[in-house]
Amino acid sequence: KISDSLCLPDFMISSAIRSGELVPILTDYTVHTGSFRLLWPSSKHLSLRLRVFIDFMHAHLFAPASV
């Protein structure tokens, strides 16, 4: 029986894993739930701020954490 366990995105807990505060278990399993969509009106120009945000989300949410 596993108690006191969590299933959280890597980007939220990578520093806690690196410090030893959290210990990953069941590392052979990856849970993919839901999806992420970013929408904006096609009539609007893609601003630099939005481009930076998209790049950040891609780097931190969709890439595996280096723990």
* Span 12-32, pLDDT tens digits: 888 999 999 988 888 787 766
Separation between Cα atoms, residue 38 and residue 53, nearest integer Å: 10
Nearest of 28, 30, 50 to residue 39 by alpha carbon: 50
Q: Give mean pLDDT, residues 31-40.
A: 69
What pTM was computed for the model? 0.44
The better pLDDT of the pair 42, 50 is held by 50
Domain assignments of the chain as residue spans, ordered by start: 10-61
Across residues 23-51, what is the average pLDDT? 76
Q: What is the pLDDT of residue 18?
A: 92
Give the per-residue pLDDT at 33.
61
Terminal alpha carbon distance of the chain:
25
